């Protein structure tokens, strides 16, 4: 195996390629580069509210905990800030309107995504998309970027009672495919993904190009870091 494809801790006892049945893939920051359109909607919201706009790089650092948290962070300029309740109640529907109208202005799959998915399909893996984004945004985005038919099941942030970092979406997918957690892999870009996978008992790969709220992806508890989905496909084999 090409050692340059992955970078895992010396204490890891994982052998590559991993034998799994199911591959679950995160959306924002893993499959799709959505940051510019998320920032566009945020600045349109701020403009409507009479507040100063923020840089795309600043708003990018707010991505990772869903749209409600993104709106709160944009309003307060703090990762854990809580805005005035009335302001938030006014701002959220404004943001959702602007995002719905600008879902795929700039959003595109990351390099290696289409090739990686094709390789995984050809190898016979069951594929699922798991995101914290609301279904009203998730499904149109997957369709507009040509990814919708790649997945047998798509779980959005409002599909189940709990979302990542809770393990429920991952265990739900495992049950759907009649797989044990250790027979499943989650590919993501954030702390949410790493926590959810560890809690569920699944394997987890992380990509370095995503959002992770501005934090270093190398600090995450993951099995390995892969440069792309095509690289990830080279580190797994179909469990017979």
Question: In sequence order, what E strands does the chain have?
Answer: 18-20, 22-25, 32-33, 108-109, 126-130, 153-155, 184-188, 203-206, 224-225, 236-238
- Extract the tokens encoding 238: 């179909």
In degrees rounded to 5, what are phi and psi of residue 86? -70, -40
Rounded CA-CA distance 125/167 in Å is 21
Q: Please list, residue by residue across 161-189, b when 16 or more beta carbons sit within 10 angstroms of its beta carbon and e when fewer do.
A: eebbbbbbbbbbbbeebebebbbbbbbbb
Residues designated as active site = 26
Contact 128, 21 (CB under 8 A): no
CB atoms < 10 A from the CB of 89, how many? 10
Rounded CA-CA distance 129/192 in Å is 15
């Amino acid at each position: 195996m090409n050692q340059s494809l992955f970078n895992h801790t010396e204490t890891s006892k994982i052998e590559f390629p991993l034998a799994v049945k199911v591959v679950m893939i995160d959306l924002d920051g893993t499959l799709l580069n959505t940051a510019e359109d998320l920032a566009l909607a945020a600045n349109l919201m701020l403009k409507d509210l009479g507040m100063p706009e923020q840089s795309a790089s600043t708003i990018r650092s707010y991505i990772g905990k869903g749209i409600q948290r993104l709106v709160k962070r944009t309003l307060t300029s703090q990762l854990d800030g809580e805005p005035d309740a009335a302001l938030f109640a006014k701002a959220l529907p404004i943001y959702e309107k602007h995002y719905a109208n600008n879902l795929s202005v700039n959003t595109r799959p990351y390099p290696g995504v289409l090739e990686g998915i094709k390789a995984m399909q050809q190898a016979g893996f069951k594929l699922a998309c798991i995101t914290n984004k609301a279904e009203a945004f998730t499904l149109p985005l997957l369709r507009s970027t040509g990814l919708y038919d790649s997945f047998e099941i798509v779980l959005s942030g409002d599909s189940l009672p709990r979302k990542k970092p809770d393990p429920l979406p991952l265990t739900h997918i495992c049950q759907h495919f009649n797989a044990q957690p250790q027979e499943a892999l989650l590919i993501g870009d954030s702390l949410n993904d790493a926590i959810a996978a560890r809690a569920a008992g699944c394997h987890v790969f992380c990509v370095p190009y995503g959002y992770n709220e501005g934090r270093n992806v190398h600090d995450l508890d993951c099995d390995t870091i892969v440069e792309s989905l095509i690289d990830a496909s080279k580190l797994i084999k179909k469990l017979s």
